[in-house]
């Protein structure tokens, strides 16, 4: 009996060590782009170290018993000896899991408290509203007074405490940037929030992590974490579109307006509006199939700029046969500036001929 237990323990320890080594050799996570990410990854690795030996131990006992105590010829009609409860054994197998579970609960609570803790009083916090709707995200920043500044893409400064206020206009979505690690549901009628502190500059995907309808897989935007001065410049330009607009117009006039406007339109298509997630357009190399292919609907019969503009800002005004209404986001008129919509219309009319 004692020999069996010693054998089992040796096998269990070796298999656990191999299991943990394999688990640690896997690169589980993308880049750590928030200060919270490090603690969350640490928690994951502690859970791995705690759970791999439990899994290995259970498997070892099962396989070891099958091998060691298998039925041999002549055993067919024999029954094992009757066994009564073993109080000592029961105390051991109740206490060890209870202590393990309690320890992990306390550690998890400590980490949760740490990643959700508000920054020290007086630390500047950037408040960003995140609005989910089928099938895109929109972002709002504090503007002048009560005014809000809208953006179709998420822009954040480096090394800054950010608090996201998350809401939904229709069904339940979930706001997730894998590189920030944090995730929370966007629930209609029940605003939620979480905070992160950004780190260095980078560009990551904003993902919807809750099945929300036909376009769920295409509900992706981009987050740009910019050095603080560049972020400040971006926000200033967004806050005062008149000032930025004039500068832009002067620049494009000097460089030959049309080429620049087309490039700007392509940027909106690929970047700020993210049209390619749902629409196929050969000129931009996109292959989305949630919405109609722009190559076919805009081809041949040259569509008017009025029609193209309406299809972007009021997508339900005309629905292409075979496609349901309400799938395209209704708010591009708010999240894109007039200049961006103009550029996008001009780009689409030009490339889809
Ligand atoms: Cu929104 Cu899935």
What's the whole-model pTM score?
Answer: 0.68
- In short, whether 212's Cβ falls inside 6 Å of ligand 1 is yes
Q: Is the beta carbon of 130 within 6 A of some atom in ligand 1?
A: no
Specify the range with the lowest mean pLDDT, choosing from 24-33, 125-134, 168-177, 262-271: 262-271
CB 240 within 8 A of CB 155: no
pLDDT digits (tens, 9 = 90+) for 317-338: 888 887 877 778 777 887 788 8
- Return the closest-CA partner of residue 126 out of 156, 105, 153: 156
Task: Report whether pLDDT(216) > 50.
Answer: yes
Q: Which atom of ligand 1 is nearest to the CA of 211?
A: 2
Query: How many whole angstroms from 174 Cα to the centroid of ligand 1?
Result: 7
Spatial neighbors of 290 by CB under 8 A, at least 6 apart, are 135, 214, 215, 218, 277, 278, 279, 327
Give pLDDT, residue 300: 64
Per residue in 143-165, pLDDT (tens digit) is 777 778 888 899 999 999 999 99
Distance (Å, rounded) from C-alpha 167 to C-alpha 61? 49
- Look at residue 303 in the predicted model and tell me its pLDDT: 76
Is the beta carbon of 216 within 6 A of some atom in ligand 1? yes
Contact 206, 182 (CB under 8 A): no
| Alpha carbon nearest to ligand 1 atom 1, residue | 173
Does 244 have pLDDT greater than 80?
Answer: no
Q: Is the CB of 137 under 6 A from ligand 1?
A: no
Q: Is 166 in the pocket of ligand 1 (CB under 6 A)?
A: no
Signed CA dihedral, 203, 141, 240, 232: sign only = negative
- Among 112-121, 139-148, 271-280, top mean pLDDT goes to 112-121
Q: What is the DSSP string of 306-347?
A: HHHHHHHHSTTSS--TTS-TT-S-S-HHHHS-HHHHHHHHHH
Question: How far, in Å, from the CA of 224 to the mean position of ligand 1?
Answer: 20
Flag whether pLDDT at 243 surpasses 60. no
- What's the gap in Å between 159 CA and the centre of ligand 1? 28
Give 314's contacts (C-beta < 8 A, 6+ positions apart): 330, 333
pLDDT at 78 over 60: yes
Round the average pLDDT of the chain to a whole number and report it: 85
pLDDT exceeding 70 applies to what percent of the chain?
Answer: 93
């Amino acid at each position: 009996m004692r020999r069996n237990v010693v054998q089992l323990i040796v096998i269990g320890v070796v298999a656990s060590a191999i299991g943990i080594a394999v688990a640690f050799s896997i690169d589980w996570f993308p880049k750590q782009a928030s200060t919270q990410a490090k603690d969350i990854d640490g928690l994951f690795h502690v859970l791995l170290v705690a759970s791999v030996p439990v899994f290995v131990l259970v498997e070892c006992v099962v396989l070891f018993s099958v091998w060691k105590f298998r039925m041999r010829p002549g055993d067919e009609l024999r029954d094992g000896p009757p066994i009564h409860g073993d109080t000592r054994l029961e105390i051991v197998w109740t206490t060890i899991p209870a202590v393990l579970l309690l320890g992990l609960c306390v550690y998890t609570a400590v980490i949760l408290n740490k990643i959700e803790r508000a920054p020290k009083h007086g630390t500047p916090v950037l408040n960003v509203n995140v609005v989910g709707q089928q099938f895109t995200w929109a972002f709002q920043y504090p503007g002048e007074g009560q005014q809000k500044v809208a953006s179709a893409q998420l822009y954040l400064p480096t090394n800054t405490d950010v608090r996201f206020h998350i809401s939904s206009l229709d069904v339940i979505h979930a706001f997730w940037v894998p590189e920030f690690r944090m995730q929370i549901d966007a629930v209609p009628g029940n605003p939620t929030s979480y905070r992160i502190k950004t780190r260095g500059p980078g560009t990551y995907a904003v993902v919807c992590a809750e099945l929300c309808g036909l376009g769920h897989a295409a509900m992706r935007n981009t987050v740009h974490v910019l050095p603080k001065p560049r972020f400040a410049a971006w926000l200033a330009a967004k806050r005062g579109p008149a000032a930025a607009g004039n500068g832009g117009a002067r620049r494009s006039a000097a460089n030959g307006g049309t080429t620049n406007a087309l490039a700007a339109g392509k940027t909106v298509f690929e970047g700020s509006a993210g049209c390619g997630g749902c629409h196929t357009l050969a000129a931009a190399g996109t292959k989305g199939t949630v919405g109609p292919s722009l190559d076919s609907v805009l081809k041949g019969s040259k569509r008017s700029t009025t029609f193209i503009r309406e299809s972007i800002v009021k997508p339900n005004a005309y629905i292409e046969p075979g496609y349901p209404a309400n799938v395209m986001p209704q708010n591009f008129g708010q999240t894109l500036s007039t200049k961006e919509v103009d550029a996008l219309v001009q780009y689409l009319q030009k490339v889809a001929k």
